[in-house]
Amino acid sequence: MFITLEGPEGSGKTSQIRELAAYVESLGYEVLTTREPGGTDIGDQIRQVLVRLENQGLHPRTEILLFLAARAQLVEQVIKPALSAGKVVLCDRYGDSTLAYQGYGHGLDLSMLRSMLAFATDQLKPDLTLLLDLDVETGLQRKRKEAEWNRLDAYEVAFHQRVRAGYLELCAQEPERWRVIDAGAPKEAVQLAMREAVARFINENSKKPLSAPQEKGN
Ligand code: TYD
């Protein structure tokens, strides 16, 4: 089972995914958690280029090729082997980030991006995607407070608004894959909503229905 987390800046994906992983493990599944861009040695090197504040001159086409390069490596080196081993894979950002940021945000052609994505991922798509949806101003404020400001956050607010609207459009196009979570709610409520969405999905799609949380490894 391949589950991805998406969302605009400051939606809190990174801390929520850790708790979600622990929950899925408590249901008796082996979990692999990873993130984009990065997740492999080579991907982390690519990530450094992408997030450096000094790299303001990075052209959107260069940017997308770097994201896709990191993703191709992650798919082959980490995601496919984990899925083959029967693990649940939780990934912090994936192809939908490219559609939302490079497509809706920067206005690159969406159908071309979809072909490039198919190439980079060898057509591997998530089974379930959680959108941690959040008002843009609130998200950017949260990020500034955490002092994690990087080149990609420094784009203007209108860019981030297009990204958010893009995500909502992607949800509307493929509602069976997406679940929208209100990331403006308190942290605990966000985690609960994520767990419910994942548990329901597992129940509907797994041969092993869930009752109560089991010991890890059962
Ligand atoms: P990161 O610091 O990891 O942000 P976050 O914690 O919000 O995930 O930086 C990732 C940035 O890269 C984020 O601004 C989203 C952006 N991004 C793209 O523009 N396209 C992509 O395909 C991916 C994976 C990320």
Quick: pLDDT tens for 49-64: 999 988 999 998 999 9
pLDDT at 10: 86
Atom of ligand 1 at shortest distance to CA of 95? 22
**Centre of ligand 1 from the C-alpha of residue 206, in Å:** 31
Does residue 33 carry a pLDDT above 80? Answer: yes
Which residues, 6 or more positions from 151, have their beta carbon under 8 angstroms from its beta carbon?
50, 51, 52, 53, 54, 55, 56, 58
Q: Is the pLDDT of residue 218 over 60?
A: no
> How far away, in angstroms, is 26 Cα from ligand 1 center?
29
In the reported structure, the alpha carbon of residue 36 is separated from the centroid of ligand 1 by a whole-number distance in angstroms of 7
Predicted pLDDT at 215: 46
Minimal-distance CA residue to ligand 1 atom 7: 9
Ligand 1 in contact with 150 (CB < 6 A)? Answer: yes
Note the Cα 215 to chain centre separation in Å.
27
Percent of the chain at pLDDT exceeding 90:
75
pLDDT at position 217: 43
- Closest ligand 1 atom to Cα of 67: 22
Mean of pLDDT over the chain: 91
The stretch 143-166 carries a mean pLDDT of 80
**Probe target for ligand 1 pocket from 11, 91, 101, with the most ligand atoms within 8 Å of CB:** 101
User: How far, in Å, from the CA of 38 to the mean position of ligand 1?
Assistant: 10
Q: How many angstroms separate the CA atoms of 82 and 139, rounded?
A: 32
pLDDT at 127: 98
Q: What is the pLDDT of residue 140?
A: 86
Q: Whose CA is nearest to atom 25 of ligand 1?
A: 97
Measured from the CB, is residue 152 less than 6 Å from ligand 1? Answer: yes
Dihedrals phi, psi of 33, to nearest 5 degrees = -110, 135
Q: Return phi, psi of residue 178, to 5°.
A: -100, 150
Burial class (CB in 10 A: 0-12, 13-18, 19+), 115: exposed
The most confident of 152-161, 185-194, 201-210, by mean pLDDT: 185-194
**How far from 82 is each of 91, 171, 194, 208, 216, CA to CA, in Å?**
12, 26, 22, 19, 17
> How would residue 24 be classed by pLDDT, with cut points 50, 70 and 90?
very high
Ligand 1 atom 22, closest CA: 98
pLDDT at residue number 216: 43
Q: Is the CB of 98 under 6 A from ligand 1?
A: yes
Mean per-residue pLDDT for 160-184? 97
CA–CA distance, 173 with 25 (Å, rounded to integer): 31
CA distance 181 to 197: 9
Q: Answer yes or no: is pLDDT of 83 > 90.
A: yes
